[in-house]
Chains A and B, each alone.
Chain A
Amino acid sequence: MAEVSTGSTQRITLAKGLNAGLRAAMENDPKVIVMGEDVGKLGGVFRITDGLQKDFGEDRVIDSPLAESGILGTAVGLAMRGYRPVCEIQFDGFVYPAYDQIVSQVAKIHFRSQGKVKMPIVVRIPYGGGIGAVEHHSESPEAQFAHTPGLKVVSCSNPVDGYFMIQQAIACDDPVIFFEPKRQYHADKAELDESLTLADADPLFSSRVVRAGSDLTLLAYGPMVKTAMQSAEAAAGEGKSIEVIDLRTLSPLDMGPVLESVRKTGRVVVAHEAHVNLGMGAELAARITEECFFSLESPVLRVGGFDTPYPPSRIEEEWLPDLDRVLDAVDRALAF
């Protein structure tokens, strides 16, 4: 991000950042279409598309029938016709009816057509837990999409990234699964410098060191970035210097900053809300081991959700990895 700022700034939430980013994308390209359940008059159940239908009309902000496969399947046809659909899946656990269209069609049509048909589709998925919801409203299915060739998968963690990354994802000619940490939507505000343009933003598929440190590398994305930062702060009080990286992109992974950090610290903890088994942490651990085996002082440790279905909400705070569980892993890695 550019350091120099001349314009005015405003403090925005992630929800506001995404909304402003969607608006900017729609203003810049008349082919951008927003579609999903309740995205029109209601502005989405999280209000991320608030006001868009009023300003861009029902042809560009489409309230769809309640059918996720239908949303993605028709988005494929719209993309073939030259449009850039931005599909909202209302909650993470409702993406599965659309899974076939995403994995078998959206991800494969460019390959199938030998490059003749592009699929510039964005699938926005509010994900993760911590909002006290009923079943299917708190899941973290990102690894299932990162495992699918043909898709690109990203997750924003803060309001400013939300504003820029959604615009970059829409501008991307490949399909992007865009994971939004729903418990951050209205949580924290950050300053958005309105004079900044997309050209000032970091590339979409890049990771970022968000806190420098020398003893251990803590990898996180989406909702866990905040927890990681708090963990690093707490560890600093105990004299431990933690470097935190916000991965931002999950497929492709941007291993450059990760490897550079690990070569410096020799120790890694990966934190995500998703189940540990075959999650993003597994791939990261494998890549780190392959690329800088001799720099490692300890095994790559993973902190995440247990390998169970997401629990009833009264015990979700125990289930979700929190500051203490992250610090526990940090301690184990440092003691190895």
Chain B
Amino acid sequence: MTQQAGTTADFPGPEDVFGPSHADGGPELVQLLTPEGERVEHPEFSFDLDDEAIKGFYRDMVLTRRIDVEATALQRHGELGIWAQLLGQEAAQIGSGRALAPQDFVFPTYREHGVAWTRDLDPLRLLGLFRGVDQGGWDPNANNFGLYTIVIGAQTLHAVGYAMGMQRDGVVGTGDAERDAAVVAYFGDGASSQGDVNESFIFAASYNAPVVFFCQNNQWAISEPFERQSRVPLYQRALGFGFHGVRVDGNDVLACYAVTKAALQRAHEGSGPTLVEAYTYRMGAHTTTDDPTRYRLSSDVEAWKLKDPIARVKAYLTRNGLVDDSFFEEIEEEAEQLGHHLREGCKALPDPSPLSVFDHVYVDQTPELAAQKEAYAAYLDSFEGAH
């Protein structure tokens, strides 16, 4: 790890703390694949999978971007009320998501569509929340993927509590790779200002909980730039809480995979939490209701386009002759099918019954709520033509 807790020598000096934030992520950025598609080595982190895996990551990222594009279009067509775009964050999500073991558990924000993809959640299930037919109706325990959480940062505490449960279940530090489990808490640069996120750091450190805090620093919390949230690089905050922090190129899927894998390894073996700051950029709007032209320069967006997470993998695969045209054509065909699935599936999502609102407020429904439901049903039935 780049930062060792408890050793003064590794604490940042004043020049690191008070210097300008680095537009390129700074010299501390872990990178294994350059924007030009060249593999580079890092003294601490290495990518230990083969080129087949990289091809798989490429496919994941293209399909994830397609989910995002289709959902955005569905919102424009009035089929979704809103959509939170992930454009530009595909590498951070696919790289970290693919580093997870099946027994690991994910606590997402509402933008983790790529992570959901790595957990084999049907992307159609994500749309219900944004269409307004449910509030995230998937079973968190079916894919070890928690429900989207809209209150910023609240899920990081849930993640730590879940990890504390894993400790009590004896599935941490057993040495059995099939058994050792950990939690990944996703959040963003804006959430880093929330009390809950800071409390989650404290609880995780205090109990040495098996958690990877995966922060996608996409530079923007709606209209507020990263500098409004923090005067130090976020990964350095981990030091103050007593655990490791590392900044990774969030647009480099190989580095995101390698760093997350290493952090998970530490969590699995019982070495406690790690903060990963994936340095990336929100290429789209905050959501489909947002207008980023009001608060940021198009030249910044253009500069980040040159660091596109998918383009660099394509360059790597092509330059090294690892794929031919049919590879890209097959993925494109798959993306078409996925788009069709989302378009048709979204429109077919049924509206819930108005009476269903009463059903899951409690495990054991109260007599007064049962009476309210009954009265409302009778009221609805009182209209002419009601059935």
Contact = CB atoms under 8 A, between A and B. Distances in A.
Contacts of B141: 116-117
Question: What class of interface size applies to chain A in its complex with B?
Answer: 35 or more
Contacts of A230: none
B106 to A, nearest CB: 12
A253 B367 CA distance: 9
Given A59-B168, A113-B137, A77 B158 contact: yes
Interface string B323-355: 000000000000000000000000000000000
Q: Which of A67, A70, A174 has the most CB of B within 10 A?
A: A70
A69 B195 contact: yes
Contact of A113 (B136, B151, B160): B136
Interface string B149-185: 1010010111111111111110000000000000100
Contacts of B167: 59
B199 A77 contact: no
Contacts of A205: 366
Given A67-B203, A77-B165, A111 B361 contact: yes
B192 to A, nearest CB: 16
B151 A104 contact: yes
B161 A149 contact: no
B284 to A, nearest CB: 26
A170 to B, nearest CB: 14
B162 A81 contact: yes
Nearest to A77: B161
Nearest to A30: B168
A252 B369 contact: yes
Contact of A112 (B147, B159, B206, B359): B147
A74 interface: yes
A118 B161 contact: no
A114 B134 contact: yes
Given A65-B206, A78-B165, A83-B168, A115 B157 contact: no
A275 interface: no
A73 B363 contact: no
Contact of B139 (A79, A81, A109, A116): A116
B387 interface: no
Interface in A108-153: 109-118, 149-150, 152
B193 interface: no
B135 interface: yes
Given A74-B161, A80-B161, A112-B147, A105 B367 contact: no
B360 interface: yes
A188 B167 CA distance: 41
A65 B202 contact: yes
A70 B202 contact: yes
Contacts of B160: 73-74, 77
B50 interface: no
Interface string A174-206: 100000000000000000000000000000010
A174 B157 contact: no
A101 B154 CA distance: 7
A104 B167 CA distance: 26
A59 B170 CA distance: 11
Question: What class of interface size applies to chain B in its complex with A?
Answer: 35 or more
A173 interface: yes
B200 interface: yes
B154 A73 contact: yes
B360 A110 contact: yes
Given A105-B158, A110-B361, A82 B199 contact: no
Given A113-B140, A114-B134, A115-B359, A77 B364 contact: no
A317 interface: no
Given A67-B202, A67-B203, A114-B134, A252 B147 contact: no
A76 interface: yes
A285 interface: no
A273 B168 CA distance: 40
A313 interface: no
B136 A74 contact: no
Contacts of A81: 161-162, 164-166, 169
Contact of A74 (B134, B146, B157): B157
Given A73-B158, A80-B140, A100-B151, A110 B164 contact: no
B139 A113 contact: yes
B79 interface: no
B165 A83 contact: yes
Contacts of B367: 252
B194 to A, nearest CB: 10
B196 interface: yes
Nearest to B156: A73
A252 B366 contact: yes
A205 to B, nearest CB: 7
A174 B107 CA distance: 22
B361 A74 contact: no
B343 to A, nearest CB: 24
Q: Which of A82, A104, A116, A149 has the most CB of B within 10 A?
A: A116
B362 A152 contact: yes
Given A74-B157, A81-B161, A150-B361, A252 B199 contact: no
Given A77-B157, A80-B140, A173 B364 contact: yes
B186 to A, nearest CB: 14
A70 B168 CA distance: 18
Interface of A: 33, 59, 64-65, 67, 69-70, 72-83, 97, 100-101, 104-105, 109-118, 149-150, 152, 172-174, 205, 251-253, 255
Interface of B: 107, 134-137, 139-141, 146-147, 149, 151, 154, 156-169, 183, 195-196, 199-200, 202-203, 206, 359-364, 366-369
Given A70-B203, A116-B141, 9 more contacts: A64-B203, A69-B196, A70-B202, A74-B157, A77-B157, A77-B158, A105-B154, A174-B363, A174-B364
13 contacts: A65-B203, A73-B157, A73-B158, A74-B157, A76-B157, A77-B159, A79-B161, A83-B168, A101-B154, A113-B147, A115-B359, A205-B366, A252-B368
